[in-house]
């Protein structure tokens, strides 16, 4: 049996699937350990993993991905388990997918297609749906010939090479190109609107939550802002960017943004199509990079996040690495490899609140290094600015004089410039209070 059409995402519900992939030579992990994340992805897409198989190889076979003997073994496993699909832990070329499918006789889903199915299931807003559709169409374009092999056998006659199937595939390609162009144009408009929206609030310090999927970004946003964002213990539970005001200890307000989670081997089509969604992260003043500190693959996950940030051009932005879920870590010495990557990383638990004061301190320390500390005088006619300063800057001291309100603040250059334009005046900072007298040393006996 050979499948000529791509697997319907809705048809995956309850379908048993065999998972397979390649691991490097000498990798001591079992098949279940090596394919643990693929199993989570398959379950998120409503497949039922019925078994897993790995082959130790340096490189994938260009024709069949795995070796011929291993492919025969996979075929036997599929028959014995009566599975309805096989799922690969890597992206397959159209040629590899077709050859594997011919051998096993059931639909072949590669990692990219599986992730696209999950994103399609979780897309809720019009923008997210457009982004997923664009990525799916870009993924599908080079694979059209695989979908139409049953029609390409048709011929127009002796010596005639253009059959009905070949005409139809050309029609489909043109339809895909037209739709891709239309979606790209619409997403470009959305991205330009997002840029204007971000630039319209230069006075507020912005913090973006980025990190591996299921690292706890939405949970942290909920804990700090009461945002009420869906936070589930499953991959990609949220796809849309959400920005909420966060009132820091001391009264100052910053903007906190939750972004879509990253993943190892994330399809490049998705990274490109979700560029507008990640616009908030690209223009943030600070990144909080979350990683699941309890995961045995935490180091690989953090490196995967770094790769995606570099692809987006956001890898040079200031950052604080947050090692979340330490309530699940019995021995914190296991976090040593993560601290080697970033010695300033903050260990915390969003669930219990353990370590959150240290996280707040790290954010306040960053603010102190990038903002200006100045003393300003607000004349009585500019007194209405006091409430705005309390909300958008860190107020170090404040008292009233005959001339107006004298404040020592820590604020961004953009906010300071606007305050000066509205009547605030820079003045000498107030003198430091005298140090308490040193008590006399006790007399020697």
Fold of 371-427: Alpha-Beta Plaits (3.30.70)
Q: Domain residues of the chain, as ranges? A: 9-120, 124-154+162-198, 203-368, 371-427
Report the predicted TM-score, pTM, of the whole model to 2 decimal places.
Answer: 0.77
Could you read off the pLDDT of 217-227 as tens digits, one per residue?
Answer: 989 999 998 76
Render 151-176 in DSSP notation, one character per residue.
HHT--SBTTB---HHHHHHHHHHHHH
Q: Are 260 and 278 in contact (CB under 8 A)?
A: yes
Q: How far is CA 243 from the centre of its chain?
A: 15
Q: Name the pLDDT band for 251 (thresholds 50, 70, 90).
A: confident
Does 440 score more than 70 pLDDT? Answer: no
Order across the sheet with 372-379: list the strands: 394-400, 404-411, 372-379, 425-427
Helix, strand or coil for residue 377?
strand
Fold matches, 9-120 and 371-427? no
Region 264-283: what's the mean pLDDT?
A: 73
Mean pLDDT for all residues in the chain: 83
More confident residue, 429 or 192: 192
As its CATH architecture, domain 203-368 has 3-Layer(aba) Sandwich (3.40)
Q: Is 407 helix (H, G, I), strand (E, B) or coil?
A: strand
Instruction: Tell whether the model's pLDDT for residue 381 goes beyond 60.
Output: yes
Do the bridges between strand 319-324 and strand 346-347 make them parallel or antiparallel, or are there none, so unpaired?
parallel
**Structure tokens that stand for 268 in this block:** 């490049």
Here the tokens at position 352 are: 């219990």
Please say whether the structural domain 9-120 has been given the CATH code 3.30.300.30: no
pLDDT digits (tens, 9 = 90+) for 110-167: 999 999 888 888 777 788 888 889 988 988 888 876 554 444 444 333 344 444 445 7
What is residue 346's predicted lDDT score, i.e. its pLDDT?
96
Assigned token pair, 338: 């993560």
Q: What is the pLDDT of residue 5?
A: 43
> Which stretches of 71-192 are assigned E, i.e. beta strand?
85-88, 108-109
Q: What is the DSSP letter of 439?
A: P
- Judging by DSSP bridges, how do beta strands 253-258 and 242-247 pair with one another? antiparallel
Rounded Cα–Cα distance for residues 430 and 434 (Å): 12
What are residue 23's phi and psi, to 5 degrees? -130, 155
- The pLDDT value recorded for residue 12 is 54
More confident residue, 42 or 435: 42
Token pair for residue 310? Answer: 């570099």
Phi, psi of 185 (to 5 degrees): -65, -45
Residue 32 in tokens: 């279940």
Q: Which of 2-11, 187-196, 353-362 has the lowest mean pLDDT?
A: 2-11
């Amino acid at each position: 049996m050979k499948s000529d059409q791509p697997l319907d995402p809705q048809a995956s519900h309850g379908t048993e699937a065999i998972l397979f992939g390649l691991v490097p030579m000498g990798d001591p992990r079992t098949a279940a350990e090596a394919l643990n994340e693929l199993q989570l992805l398959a379950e998120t897409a409503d497949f039922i993993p019925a078994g897993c198989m790995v082959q130790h190889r340096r490189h994938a076979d260009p024709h069949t991905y795995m070796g011929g003997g291993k492919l025969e073994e996979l075929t036997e496993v599929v028959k014995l388990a009566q599975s309805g699909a096989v799922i690969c832990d890597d992206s397959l070329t159209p040629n590899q997918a077709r050859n594997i499918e011919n051998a096993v006789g059931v639909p072949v889903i590669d990692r990219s297609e599986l992730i696209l199915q999950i994103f399609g299931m979780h897309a809720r807003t019009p923008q997210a749906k457009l982004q997923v559709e664009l990525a799916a169409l870009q993924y599908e374009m080079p694979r059209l010939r695989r979908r139409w092999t049953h029609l390409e056998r048709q011929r127009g006659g002796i010596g005639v090479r253009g059959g009905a199937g070949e005409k139809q595939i050309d029609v489909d390609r043109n339809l895909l190109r037209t739709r891709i162009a239309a979606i790209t144009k619409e997403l470009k408009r959305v991205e330009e609107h997002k840029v204007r929206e971000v630039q319209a609030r230069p006075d507020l310090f912005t913090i973006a939550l980025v990190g591996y999927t299921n690292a706890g970004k939405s949970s942290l946003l909920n804990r700090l802002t009461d945002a009420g964002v869906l936070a589930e213990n499953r991959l990609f539970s949220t796809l849309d960017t959400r920005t909420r005001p966060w009132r820091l200890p001391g009264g100052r307000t910053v903007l906190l943004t939750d972004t879509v989670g990253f993943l190892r081997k994330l399809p490049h089509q998705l990274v490109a199509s979700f560029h507008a969604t990640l616009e908030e992260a690209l223009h943030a003043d600070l990144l909080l990079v979350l990683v699941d500190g309890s995961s045995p693959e935490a180091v690989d996950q953090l490196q995967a996040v770094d790769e995606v940030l570099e692809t987006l051009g956001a890898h040079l932005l200031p950052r604080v690495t947050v090692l979340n879920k330490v309530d699940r870590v019995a021995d914190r010495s296991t976090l040593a490899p993560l601290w080697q990557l970033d010695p300033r990383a903050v260990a915390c638990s969003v669930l219990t609140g353990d370590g959150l004061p240290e996280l707040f301190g790290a954010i306040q320390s960053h603010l102190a290094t990038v903002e200006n500390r100045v003393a300003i005088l607000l004349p009585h006619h500019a007194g209405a600015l006091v409430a705005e300063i309390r909300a958008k800057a860190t107020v170090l001291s404040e008292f009233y004089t005959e001339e107006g309100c004298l404040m020592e603040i820590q604020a961004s250059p953009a906010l300071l410039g606007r305050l000066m334009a509205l009547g605030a005046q820079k003045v000498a900072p107030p003198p430091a209070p005298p140090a308490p007298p040193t008590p006399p040393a006790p007399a020697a006996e």
